[in-house]
Every structure is written in C-alpha cells, then in structure tokens.
Amino acid sequence: MTDLSTLDATAQAELVRGGELTAADLAEAAIERIERLNPILNAVVTPMFDHAREAAPGPFAGVPFLLKDLVAEVPGVRFTEGSVFLRDNVSTYESELVRRLRRAGLVLLGKTNTPEFGLVPACEPVLHGPTRNPWAPDRSTSGSSGGSAAAVAAGLVPMAHGNDLGGSLRFPASACGLFGLKPTRARVPLGPEYGDVLSGWACEHALTRSVRDSAALLDAISGPAPGDPYPAPAPARPFAAEVGADPGRLRIAFSPRLPDGSLGHPDCVAALEDAVALCASLGHDLVEADLPGLTPAVGDAIGTAFNAATAWIVGYWIRKLGRRPGPGELEPLTRAYWEAGQRVSAADYLLAIEDLQAFSRVVAEFLAGFDAWLTPTMSTPPARVGEITSMPEEPLRALERGAPTVAYPAVVANITGNPAMSVPLWRNEEGLPIGVHFLGRFGDEATLFRLAGQLEAARPWPLIAPEPSFPVADVRRFGFELG
C-alpha cells in the first residue's frame, strides 16, 4: 500500500488493466492512507467511501480520486463550498464534470477542503479548519484548491479535482510541489448549473503529480456540453500525445518583476532563474520581457469584477437556500467582499469587463511573439498556517496577508482565457516547493504539455512528500471525524 501511494494515476490504472490489482485494492489502499494521514492534514472534509461504485472501463479505471468541495456536485453528498452558511447543504444533482470523471473510470472517495467560496489563497475555512502542507505541516497549502493539493502531495490519491478563478489550481500546485495546469477557457464544461462564470474566468481541472496524468485527464473531461455558451478551440490531437513530443525550439519571455516593478521573495526569484537556465540548456530562446498592459486601471477592473463575483456567489446561495446568511454564517472577508459587490452596478461590471477584454488583446499581441511567458508562480514561499485569516475586527486581514503571497499576475490567464501551468522544478533551503509559472497562448495547451513533459524528463520532481509528522493532538479537527 505504501508503494502504491508513490505511483501516478496512469501507473495505477495500468496495474488494474494488467490484472495485478483490482479497483477495490486501490480504494482500500487510498482509504487506509486517508484514515491515517487526514487527521494531520485535514485535506478530506467529507468522506464518500460508501459512494464508491464499480469503476467504469475508462482510461483511469479503478483509480481513486477526490473532488474539491467547490462547484463539483454529487447527489446526496454534503456540499459546503467551505462556508458555514452551507454547512447543512446537500447536493441534489450531478455535475457534468462528475459524470465525465466517473466515465473515465475514477472512483470518487470524498470531498476536499477549500476556503470559503474559494476566495483567498489559503485553505483555512472556519467551517472545516486549516489544511496543512504535507511538506511542512506548519505551512499553508495556498488556495483555493488546497485540500486537493495536500491530498495528492501526501499520496492519499494520485490526483484530485481543482478549479481556478484567479490561480486556485496553480498556487496550491506551487506550494505543494505538484503539476497544476489551468486549461483554456471553456475547455471543461461547468454545467448543468453554470454556463459561464465571471465572463470565463473559472476553469475546472485537477492537481496531479505527473504531466501525463494531467494531459490524459484533460482528454477525458474536456469538450463542450450541450448548451454551453461557447467552446474552446479543438486540439489538433489528444493532449496525452503531446507529453513526450519534441516541443522544438521555443521562444520564452520571462520576468522576475511584479506588476509594480519590485521583485518577489528571493526564493521565488531563484526558482525563476533556475527555470530560465534549465530552459536555455534545453535549447529554448529566453528573452527577459515584462507583460505589457498591467495598468492601475486594469487592477481596478479586476477588483470590480471580483467584488461583483462575490455578490453573485452569495446572491446565488440566498436564492438557492431561500434565506440570507445570518450572523457568523459568512466569514468577515467574504462579508466585506459581498457588501462591496452589492455596490457595483451592472454598468460598472460591464465597463470593467470591457477594460479587461481590451487588456486581453494586449496580451494576445504580446504572445504572438512568444510561445510562453515565464514567472514564479507565487511571490513568497508557503505562508505559515494562520497567517492568511481574518477576524471580525480585521475583516480585510486575509486579503492584506494573502495578496503579497500571490503578487505575480496568475489571474491574467483567467482574464484572457489562456492556458497556464505551474511546474514544480525547485525547492528552497527549507525544502519547501517553489513552482514556476508559464502562461501560454489561447487554446494552446499542446505547447505547454510538450514543454512540461520535457522539463519533467530533464528534472524529475518528487512524486510524493515524506509522511508528515505532526502531533494529532495539536490539530483542530472540524466536521470530519474518522469512524
């Protein structure tokens, strides 16, 4: 069972296809590891062990998998989005993504932790408590897909669902030493409940240990669903075929600078310099260049859109539940965002989207001259647990503490709809993972997968963290007591 935890999903599926193990064997091993390590990590907040079905004959037949407790719904299973407001909510329908995951043969074993509505780059909701980083349990996983990232990094499952509205797949990938790809806008459907979230910012995919798992899973879950507002450009061939293919000589822009011209943490800059040297050694052309167009007006538009999105999220659940959140049912930062969002008019929102679409054209013109733009993924190493939190007397504290950890503009990929990825090429002197970030051209996951496969082959990264050691008595446990 310990050996199984080090295998990626592709390798585990091959064991089942070859008859060496059954889906039940893989599930049993995953459940054993969840029961043993989750009291330390607090990654899984809703177990679904009794929901595990016989695996479909898909590419990942029998492989255990976890769903982030945000967007992805399973009938009859608690669905909280990390909010006390939704503590008693139970899903009544199955998301299209969940259907596709099941058709791929994945066995769904539970739901993972997320900050309230995925709004902060940490995973420490009041409802469920903090998820801890397997590489250093006193450190944050970042967010918002932090529970899934911790589960994969600790070997509970080989890959797990995540989503990304501003970096929420890529930040935890960096903090937990995983590969995290944010797909092109509309690559993976959001239905049947949603068609388009925040003008295309939100995307669904997964945290994986290997590049091949990410590519093969995207093949299994991508493609438009009936009624989607628009499709992503169709790939020329399966994404899995790109992993291991020669990327050719790429022209890659890079920058160590934040939008304000300053530098990120020295560890993050060192990770970038290492990646630049590695890419150059592989024959690529590296050109230092800042991304144009990141003006204060664009920053204001991002803030307007984000506030409006929070007002929509809370408004959606008020309509769904038939009541408004009571005292203590929203965390202080969420309530502050909600109140700000209610002051955004329809015209304000549309003007912000217009500004961001104009910025997207500037980015597209810039990337016409490059295959990718490279920066650090995060601007600091993983923060300590408890740093990125708010309290009633300091509602903006989580924003003030969290923003400096993610000051490189990962949100550009959400605004433009472009694919982007965090690659776990470096660790600092403390052994903490530090990812580097590649922004690709619209619709061009293929180039990113080819490059990522080349980097993985040249500099293999650890597939699993050492087993975390942290006294269980020191971990506050919320909502999930193992039987």
| Among candidate residues 39, 31, 46, the one with its CA nearest the CA of residue 90 | 46
DSSP code, position 291: P
- Decide if 195 contacts 188 (C-beta within 8 A): no
pLDDT single digits (tens) 331-369 = 999 999 999 999 999 999 999 999 999 999 999 999 999
Tokens read off for 429:
């002197």
Distance, in Å, from the CA atom of 186 to the CA atom of 380, rounded to the nearest integer, reads 30
Helical H segments across 282-409, by residue range: 296-321, 332-341, 346-367, 397-402
Q: What mean pLDDT do residues 423-441 have? A: 98
pLDDT single digits (tens) 404-431 = 999 999 999 999 999 999 999 999 999 9
Choosing from 68, 95, 140, 182, which is the catalytic residue? 68
- Decide if 117 contacts 79 (C-beta within 8 A): no
Tokens read off for 175:
């903090």
pLDDT single digits (tens) 48-81 = 998 776 788 899 999 999 999 999 999 999 999 9
Q: What mean pLDDT do residues 137-164 have? A: 98
Domain 4-474 has CATH 3.90.1300.10: yes
Q: Give buried/exposed letters for 434-469 (b at 16+ CB in 10 A, else e).
A: bbbbbbbbbbbbbbbbbbbbbbbeebebebbbeebe
Tokens read off for 228:
């989607």
DSSP readout, 1-30?
-TTGGGS-HHHHHHHHHTTSS-HHHHHHHH
pTM above 0.85, yes or no: yes
User: Would you list the domain boundaries of the chain?
Assistant: 4-474
% pLDDT > 90, the chain: 93
Three-class DSSP category at 358? helix
Q: What mean pLDDT do residues 141-157 have? A: 98
Average pLDDT score, the chain: 95
Q: Which pLDDT band holds residue 381 (cuts at 50, 70, 90)?
A: very high
Is 168 one of the annotated active-site residues of the chain? Answer: yes
Is 182 one of the annotated active-site residues of the chain? Answer: no
pLDDT for the residue 467 = 83
Is 475's pLDDT higher than 50?
A: no
Is 469's pLDDT higher than 70?
A: no
pLDDT single digits (tens) 286-298 = 999 999 999 999 9
Choosing from 140, 145, 148, 168, which is the catalytic residue? 168
Strands 179-182 and 203-208: antiparallel
Three-class DSSP category at 78? strand
pLDDT for the residue 2 = 46
Distance, in Å, from the CA atom of 67 to the CA atom of 88, rounded to the nearest integer, reads 18
Is 474's pLDDT higher than 80?
A: no
More confident residue, 285 or 475: 285
Tokens read off for 94:
């199955």
% pLDDT > 70, the chain: 96
Distance, in Å, from the CA atom of 155 to the CA atom of 158, rounded to the nearest integer, reads 6
pLDDT for the residue 483 = 25
Three-class DSSP category at 56? coil
Is 68 one of the annotated active-site residues of the chain? Answer: yes
Other beta carbons within 10 angstroms of residue 282's beta carbon come to: 16
What is the edge-to-edge ordering of all strands in the sheet holding 107-112?
44-47, 107-112, 64-68, 159-164, 203-208, 179-182, 420-427, 433-440, 372-376, 251-254, 285-288
Is 209's pLDDT higher than 50?
A: yes
DSSP code, position 206: E
Choosing from 83, 144, 222, 379, which is the catalytic residue? 144
Distance, in Å, from the CA atom of 89 to the CA atom of 83, rounded to the nearest integer, reads 10
Q: Which amino acid is at 142?
A: S
- Measure Cα distances from 3 to 209, 234, 462 in Å: 15, 38, 14
| Lowest mean per-residue pLDDT among 1-15, 157-171, 447-461 | 1-15
Q: The tokens 């599926």 sit on which residue?
A: 13
Burial bucket for residue 53 (CB in 10 Å: 0-12, 13-18, 19+): exposed
